Amino acid sequence: MRNEEHGKPDAAVVRDALGVGVAVGLSGFAFGVTSAGSGLSLLQTCALSLLVFTGASQFALVGALAAGGNPLTAAAGAFFLGVRNAFYGLRLSQLLALPRAVRPFAAQWVIDETTAVALAQPTRRSVRIGFTVTGLSLYLLWNLTTLLGAAGAEAIGDTDAWGLDAAGPAVFLALLAPMLKTATERAVAGIAVLLGLGLLPVLPAGVPVLVAALAAPAVLWATGRRRADTARDASIGASHETPSDAENGSPSDVENRSQARAEHASPAGTHGNGPDASGDVR
């Protein structure tokens, strides 16, 4: 059935939401492996997925800890990555229009994937279905695979020997790359990578991530300046140009002047100082 007039069928919304939930939820295995390899216990790893539930922030936290960073610095980097979810919530609160009693529970599921699915829906009913199915499937699968990954990492011992320490960054890049669609987004990502890698040898672990976050405001400021300069140049160029209509007159002005010249150059018989109808000169 269709959820509303001109809306998508409920089955289509559920199918799309489950596709996103399952595809991303399987990445929890990589987080579990990475977290266990970073020195966190099975209980700590599972608690992060249950309570934090923001994949990028979780990877940033365990990555900084694995590099020997201060826990407070690592937590600060994860916090700043998770702040974006607050802005998602501002938009989703209008689209979902959930009862006040439900909002605190729904806030746990406000992440990149649920926001993307919800914003793609045409009606409020489909928005709610997409958000709920994506959030539920992703939350359950992410936590299940986190448990499996952490337990498996503890069983195999040294994750570095298996190359599993690179699983977290690889998954993070795989999730991030498709989102870089504009030149501005690619510029932010490129500068952030340069800052993070360039400062990694000289700053404590976790700090380069915080510095790399400055790439976004820097690129946005440069983009705004470029647009302002372009608009100013265009305005100055327009003010110095002399429109052809001002020089030659608009078509209506040209026609009026031509008519006036024709009247002044008309035969003498049409004027008082010329011959009258009888041909006599006055």
Q: Using alpha carbons only, how large is the chain's radius of gyration in Å?
A: 34
pLDDT at 107: 93
Residue 237, pLDDT above cutoff 70: yes
Average pLDDT for residues 15-20, to the nearest whole number? 92
Range name among 25-39, 99-113, 139-153 with the lowest pLDDT average: 25-39
pTM of the full predicted structure? 0.61
Q: Which of 173-182, 217-226, 263-272 has the highest mean pLDDT?
A: 217-226
The pLDDT tens digits of the residues spanning 37-81 come to 888 899 999 999 999 998 888 888 887 887 777 788 788 878 887
Cross-strand pairs, 2:
9
pLDDT at 158: 64
Residue with more model confidence, 14 or 157: 14
Residue position matching structure tokens 């990877």: 59
